[in-house]
Amino acid sequence: TFDDGPSDRTPEILDVLERYEVSATFFVVGQWVDKYPEEVKKLSDAGHDVMNHSATHPYMTSLSKEKMIAELNTCNDKIEAVTGKRPSLFRCPYGDYNNAVISAVDEIGMHTIQWDVDSLDWKDKATADSICKRVTSKVKNGSIVLFHNDADHTPAALPNILKCLKDEGYEFVFISDLI
Q: Which helix (H) or strand (E) holds 135?
A: helix 128-138
3 flagged as catalytic: yes
Among 48, 53, 148, 153, which one carries the catalytic annotation? 148
129 flagged as catalytic: no
Cα dist. 49→14, 27, 46, 79 in Å?
A: 12, 8, 9, 11
Let me know: does 120 contact 142? Beta carbons within 8 Å: no
Q: Tell how strand 25-28 and strand 117-118 pair up.
A: unpaired
CA dist., res. 32 & res. 143, Å (int): 26
Among 3, 49, 121, 150, which one carries the catalytic annotation? 3
Phi, psi angles (nearest 5°) of residue 172 = -110, 125
The order of strands in the sheet holding 25-28 is 111-112, 89-90, 49-52, 25-28, 2-4, 145-148, 117-118
Cα dist. 155→120, 128, 145, 175 in Å?
A: 14, 8, 15, 21
The residues annotated as belonging to the active site are 3, 148
